[in-house]
Structures are given as structure tokens and as C-alpha cells.
Amino acid sequence: MSHLVNASLDHFFKRLQQHAEQTGKTLLTEYDEQWLSPCQQGEADEEGMVEWKPVLQNPPVDFSSMEQALELEIHPDLKAFYGRYFSENVQACTEHGNLELLQCWNSDDAVRLQQNLIGHVLMKRRLKQPVTFFIALTDEEDFILTLDNESGAVVLEQVGLQPQKQIAANVVEFVDMLQPLDSD
């Protein structure tokens, strides 16, 4: 199914770039010479902002060390989700509300992401809850969207608590429902 996740992400990022073109809002992020990315396009402007665009990872982020550390097979949809593009986090909306889709900015960010995902899984294990992996932040404080590692469903979860509501049956369904928003 990871090829379907890739196709969904490709379609979403194409819609993101079309949205930017249609609204006349360039995809911009703050330039940081200590935190460079293959996503950056050109030089920073006078306000310290740099244009960016999603860039395919080559090679994709490798999750084998994380799987070994957790002694857990990670759902292939999660690996595809975080292993397709380098990108800034993206503002989007669904019928359920606004969210920030989490992505990896560069290879170092991918390492940091995996460390945070490991911490999340260890918390879930300590609380004797099913393993989930975060993929998006919501506008609601302490609520995140996660991927259930067992079923592959995307669920709404309050940090530290069991998932409350299924948002989508899988990552493909979730990504396909996203509508890009301006990143003001």
C-alpha cells in the first residue's frame, strides 16, 4: 500500500503548489543557515525568508534502526508518509478542522523525528495503550492525529490518552481529504 501513500502525497503536494500559485502566496519559511534543506529555493530575502518546495527524498528515510530499537514492525504507511518528501510542515484542513501536517525538513530532522516517535511509543507502552505514531497537530491543544500501528487507521488522540475517534481508515484516505491552507 506504500505506493498508494506515495501517490496520495504526490497529489497533495501538487495541490499545495497549485494553491500557492492560485493565491499568489509563495511557500516561504524562515531561513536558518544552521538548518538547511534540499527544499530551499534560492537565497533568503531581506526579511530572512526563503522560498521552499517539497523535494522527493533520495534515498527515503530508513526506519530499520527505529524498528530494531522498539522491537516493533512499523506500519508501512508511516514509513511511506515520512519517507516520501522533505518538506516544511504544511497547514491543511479537513471537515474535522485545521491541522499541521508534520514532515521532515532534512536528514537531521528525520533523525530527530524518529527519536520523538520512539519517545511517543515508549509513553504509549508505559500507559499500556496501543502503539500510535503522530503525523499531524490539530488546532485543539494537546490533540494530535496519529496512525494506529496495528490497523493503519488515522485517529484523533489527546496526548497521553487512548485514541478517541477514527478520522480515516488509512493514510491514503486521510491525505486525500486534505485541503492546503495558507501558511501565515
**Which fold, 2-180?**
SMI1/KNR4-like (3.40.1580)
Cis peptide bond upstream of 59, omega within 30: yes
Using only C-alpha atoms, the chain has a radius of gyration, in whole angstroms, of 16
pLDDT of residue 1: 59
Q: Can you read off the three cell numbers belonging to residue 51?
A: 522560498
For residue 159, the SS3 value is: coil
Cell numbers given for 141: 491543544
d(CA 102, CA 183): 13
Residue appearing with cell numbers 486534505: 178
Q: What is the pLDDT of residues 96-150, one digit of tens each?
A: 899 999 999 999 999 999 999 999 999 999 999 999 999 999 999 899 999 999 9
For residue 147, give the nearest of 179, 175, 117, 171 by alpha carbon.
171
pLDDT tens figures, 58-88: 999 999 999 999 999 999 999 999 999 999 9
For residues 37 and 139, give the distance between their C-alpha atoms in angstroms, rounded to a whole number: 26
Q: What is the pLDDT of residue 183?
A: 65
pLDDT, tens digit, 9 for 90 and up, residues 3-35: 999 999 999 999 999 998 888 888 999 999 999
What is the domain partition of the chain in residue ranges? 2-180
